A and B are shown apart, each in its own frame.
Chain A
Amino acid sequence: MRLVTGNDLATGDVVWWTGRDWSRHIADASDAGERAEAIAREEEAARRVNVPYVIEASETPDGPRPAHIKDRIRALGPTVRPDLTLKPADALAGDWVI
């Protein structure tokens, strides 16, 4: 699957294209397919997110999993500060990144 991601303009938060809007949670991301680049261009022009770009990801039972570790870290948060990730209660959440 192909996802569109970027950083929210005002907060800088990592965001994922849901098909209609942006979410901080990769679980909400939808497959943008062949429209991915066009969505990135449109959203950048609309100036809602910073530098949106397209990534490859795989579908898993737990939701989309980016192909590259950098985007997995973006999706979760810093592996060295579990308390600052999107899953602060899950001490093993970092395993998903590796």
Chain B
Amino acid sequence: MYKYDEYDQSIVDARVEEFRDQCQRRLSGELSEDQFKPLRLMNGLYLQLHAYMLRVAVPYGTLNARQMRMLAHVARKYDRGYGHFTTRQNIQYNWIKLEDAADILAELATVEMHAIQTSGNCIRNISSDQFAGAAADEVTDPRPFAELLRQWSTFHPEFTYLPRKFKIAVIAADEDRAAMRLHDIGLQLLERDGVLGAKVFVGGGMGRTPMIAPEIKDFIPADQLMSYLEACLRVYNRYGRRDNIYKARIKILIHELGADKYRAEVEEEFEQVRQLGIDPPAAELARISAMFAAPAFAASDGAVADRSDPGFAVWLDQNVRAHKQPGHAIVTISLKPIGGIPGDASAEQIDVMADLAERYSFDELRVTHAQNIVLPHVRVADLKAVWEALSEAGLADANLDLISDIIACPGLDYCALANARSIPLAQKIGQRFADLDRQRDLGELKLKISGCINACGHHHAGHIGILGVDRKGTENYQLLLGGSGAEDVSLGKITGPGFDEDGVVDAIERVTDTYVRIRETGERFVDTYRRVGMQPFKEAIYG
């Protein structure tokens, strides 16, 4: 894992003290809310329905046990005993007091964490593949590049006041586990003729105008990547609209300019930028990469998990993935218990996960964009012990990628922007499909719920998506089918008129019943949808 150097630590510490002063000036009345709001947002502090909310960055979703324990400590000492893991691989606390905010950031800084770039019109926390460094299908570990991007983007003076927020994802495998093409910039690292580089996609996103990022550069060598991205951002900074917040994202610029024109502008800018020498020397990438070196894996002892316990066997099949290192496995801990709140974990559960990471996963954890937690490097021989500990902590749900593994935004229960509640709906759907055999028969089915058009719950990318809207003061839910955030990326289509909360649960069941009736061997739900189209599902829903 990356370790802060003196420079990293000093800028984070300095930011904490600066924010402490800003908070004190706000509390004393010296600053108005209008003056203070942009300052607090630059430090991840929002004002939500019930209280201030603090969003803490987990760079590219990677953290160690010490950092995880700090997250539990913050939940316990400053919040109400829990945290909410988000679709941006971050964590949010819902009950923060302004008078505590600087102290929290100071405590986080002691474990090399902060809340910088979790809000505002800057380059946000870089996201990545939660299986980085463990997946057999990656060409390289994407995290050193994500870390380089973090350093490049942190407090970048030119990109602190972009037209709108800007999200970058980095992956290094053909399987896209990070919704890469639904980011403002998506990078897929790959090798060509023995040279490491990246395919660059620009202009994706969800929100009110969902778009899949078009390919802007087929291949840029890694040693020119930073210059190329600088050019991408500069063109956006120059031409992106600042007059209309709804048209300010880079996806709108590229849509209006056209990908070819945008690409030409970037190429022209790139020729200038590459002369500036901003690409880091190879030694710097090597220095960072060394911090992400593979752990000292033991040679495989040939252990095979004992499947005699049916509960354990199901969990193995559903939540455990192959590791690139023989004798090891990747464990995903589901934060989606039936009837629970997607992404929430109590301080005690966070501590348990930290302990397990320290003991069984080379001190590493990952946060996934699907609001789950990963132990990336578990010995096969230890899987049973991990499962038993997770079971004791209420963290052993074997539902990864099944219909109850729901992504849901906080919705109207917490969020000031939401139009409808997301969490109660996720709970009802989970309860309707609680039978695990039924879920497994339905197979991979990604269900995603957003409580408003901003799409924090990724509803456009759900095999089944749900969008909560406000219809004359009451909650109403639109149903979408056919989206995907994976390598088969697609945007869901609305089925028709919306439903109330119970109505949409019934509609989903009619959709899954239809799928079961018409699916062909080996087809996932989304495959069947793509084969037959909307009509059979529409008929089942609306008659």
Contact = CB atoms under 8 A, between A and B. Distances in A.
Contacts of A11: 51, 97-99
B421 interface: yes
5 contacts: A11-B51, A51-B33, A69-B473, A78-B50, A78-B414
B475 A77 contact: no
Contacts of A78: 50, 94, 413-414, 423
Nearest to A94: B424
A74 B49 contact: yes
A14 B49 contact: yes
Contacts of A46: 29
Given A12-B47, A51-B47, A70-B49, A79 B413 contact: yes
B300 interface: no
A70 to B, nearest CB: 6
Contacts of B27: 9-10
B98 A9 contact: yes
Interface string A1-14: 00000010111111
B346 to A, nearest CB: 12
Contact of A73 (B26, B47, B95, B413): B413
Interface residues of B, number: 29
Interface of A: 7, 9-14, 44, 46-47, 50-51, 67-70, 73-74, 77-81, 84
Interface in B472-488: 473-475
B50 A14 contact: yes
B499 interface: no
A81 to B, nearest CB: 8
Given A67-B473, A74-B49, A78-B94, 11 more contacts: A7-B47, A11-B98, A12-B52, A13-B51, A69-B475, A73-B49, A73-B421, A78-B413, A79-B413, A80-B427, A84-B80
Contacts of A12: 47, 50-52, 95-98
A95 to B, nearest CB: 12
Contacts of A84: 80, 95
Given A12-B52, A14-B50, A70 B29 contact: no
A23 to B, nearest CB: 15
B56 interface: no
Interface string B22-44: 00001101001100000000000
B49 A50 contact: no
Contact of A80 (B29, B32, B341, B418): B341
Q: Among the interface residues A14, A69, A80, A84, which one has the most CB atoms of the partner chain B within 10 A?
A: A80
7 residue pairs, one from A and one from B, having the closest CB atoms = A12-B51, A78-B413, A12-B52, A47-B29, A80-B423, A11-B97, A10-B99
A81 B50 CA distance: 12
B412 interface: yes
B47 A50 contact: yes
Given A73-B413, A77-B50, A10 B98 contact: yes
A9 B312 CA distance: 49
